[in-house]
Amino acid sequence: MAAVEKARKARQSAGAGQVPAGQRRENAPLSESRFGKLVELWPGAIFSQRADFSFQSADSKMEKLTGLAPEALCNGSCRFWELVHEADVEEVRRQCAQALKTPGGITTSFRVRHAATGRVSYVLEHREAILDGAGGVMGYDVAWLDVTRQTIAERRLSQAAWKETLALLTMGLAHDFNNVLSGILSLSELVLAQSGPEAPHSRSLQLIKDSVLQAAQIMQRVVSLHRGTGGSRQYLDLNKVVPEVAELVRKVLPRRLRVETELTAGELPVYMDEVGFRQVVLNLALNAADAMPDRGRLLFRLTVPETAQPLSHAHGKFPRLPCVCFSVKDNGVGIAARHLPHLFDPFFTTKPITKGSGLGLYNARVFVEDHGGAISVESAEKAGATFHLWLPQADFTEAETSAAQRAERRRTLLLVGPPGAAVEGCAELLRTHDFCVITTNSAARALEPVTGEEVAVDGTLVLAEPSNASLLPTRRRVICRLRF
């Protein structure tokens, strides 16, 4: 009996790792169907290429990114390099060469252009080379993932962090520099007063004093760029703001460029974010400087249109009358006609990926749209370009309207922390600053299903339980409706 039992166990052990042939045949189609399902659920596009980068196969999602159906890609009517942004071609070629040397492939990011609309998208690409036995390249397996939204968020976050750091640095350096100027100014005034106007060096001393005052004014204009925070609006006279920005631009741009202004008579009151406006104007001026490699002329012009104007290549809506038009005009190389419809799209740029973010004109578009206006452009190749910012003139009811809108929509915070004076005190402080505060004892409690009326929560403040609080950002999308 012992021998029989030993033989039976041996047979079981020998067949433990084997699968009946019939079962293998049944599982094979199941595995393929699961792979097909994974490909279908993959949010990006998958394709294969030959050694010459022509398309061998492509899935249907390529059409959304490229504007071309898989059949059009695979029949050779479109080359791969025609889809890659012209400023990124060389870098992508280097990455493809690197993929031949890297087992498992490489991952990189670059821009592609939609063949039909010209829209620019950022894609995250994983590329793996297929080699033959001798090491020769047979083709590539490639996966693309559209990361345009993610890249926008990352760029904005990076810009916000840099602007905050730059503001602190600028304020500190300006303070130190003004202290140096104060010493020079005081000494020059003292020597000038002691020597009298007839002294041999009185004219030189007066020039030193005037130069110091001019330097102090320049520093004040630089500091004014960082005064306040973006989003805070106030009543401004554009006939006063534009000359100040123009004077700063003169100090920033190369001397080969001439900056001029044309203003209107009287006041031009607007209700807007001054910091945002200055940033938009500076960006337009820097773009204009890039378009004028030789000596050029940059004009800032203010006009008051009496009637609604037809806008070319515009975004936003023409503001209510009375309104004001601020124009930035250069006599540079101009803009190609094929680029004009996409000029204000995020990430659209003709510069290399390392030199231009493609967000400058998009930010200008966001600025005017937030202020109830529009932005338009007129240009022709070798004939310069003119950008128009159309903004409503202030009727001095905007501040009251904005305050009423803020009162209607109070920000709501979810405050997580153990019961006690700390949470109660924090909640009371937030309420005194016009926040609506919802308190809960623990992060785990906050994760419980929400019943009753839906509450829009703008953010979460955690005073304790950091380990559990890490779950809140994911769950928050379920229990509340974010508004930023």
Domain ranges of the chain: 38-146, 149-227, 238-402, 409-479
Sign of the four-CA dihedral 283, 286, 291, 296: positive
Round to whole Å and give the CA distance between 321 and 308.
8
Nearest to 163 by CA among 248, 228, 247: 228
Residue 381's Cα: distance from chain center in Å? 27
Omega of the bond prior to 322 within 30 degrees of 0, cis?
yes
Asked if residues 330 and 297 have their Cβ atoms less than 8 Å apart, the reply is yes
Is the CATH number of domain 149-227 1.10.287.1080? no
Nearest to 343 by CA among 331, 334, 330, 332: 334
Nearest to 115 by CA among 87, 153, 77: 77
Give residue 28's pLDDT: 41
Give residue 160's pLDDT: 67
Is the CATH number of domain 38-146 3.40.50.10190? no
Q: Which residues pair with 393 in a beta bridge?
A: none
Is the CATH number of domain 238-402 3.30.310.50? no
Round to whole Å and give the CA distance between 475 and 449.
10
Q: Note whether 38-146 and 238-402 share their fold.
A: no
Q: What is the pTM of this model?
A: 0.51
Strand order in the sheet with 106-113: 55-58, 45-50, 137-146, 120-131, 106-113
**Residue 54 CB neighbour total at 10 angstroms:** 15
Round to whole Å and give the CA distance between 127 and 38.
18
Tell me the backbone φ, ψ of residue 388, rounded to 5 degrees.
Answer: -115, 130
Residue that the structure tokens 């993929």 belong to: 99
Q: Exposed (0-12), middle (13-18) or buried (19+): which is 141, by Cβ within 10 Å?
A: middle
Round to whole Å and give the CA distance between 130 and 140.
5
Residues of the chain with pLDDT under 70: 1-39, 77-78, 156, 159-164, 166, 218, 221-231, 347, 351-358, 403-410, 432-434, 442-484
**Residue 361 CB neighbour total at 10 angstroms:** 23
SS (H, E, C) the chain: CHHHHHHHHHHHHHHCCCCCHHHHHHHHHHHHHHHHHHHHHCCCEEEEEECCCCEEEECCCHHHHHCCCHHHHHCCCCCHHHHECHHHHHHHHHHHHHHCCCCCCEEEEEEEECCCCCCEEEEEEEEEEEECCCCCEEEEEEEEEECHHHHHHHHHHHHHHHHHHHHHHHHHHHHHHHHHHHHHHHHHHHHHHHHCCCCCCHHHHHHHHHHHHHHHHHHHHHHHCCCCCCCCEEEEEHHHHHHHHHHHHHHHCCCCEEEEEECCCCCCEEEEEHHHHHHHHHHHHHHHHHCCCCCEEEEEEEECCCCCCCCCCCEECCCCCCEEEEEEEECCCCCCHHHHHHCCCCCCCCCCCCCCCCCHHHHHHHHHHHCCCEEEEEECCCCCEEEEEEEECCCCCHHHHHHHHHHHCCCEEEEECCCCHHHHHHHHHHHHCCCEEEEECCHHHHCCCCCCCCCCCCEEEECCCHHHHCCHHHHHHHHCCCCC
Round to whole Å and give the CA distance between 31 and 35.
6
Give residue 11's pLDDT: 41
Round to whole Å and give the CA distance between 96 and 90.
10
Give residue 24's pLDDT: 37
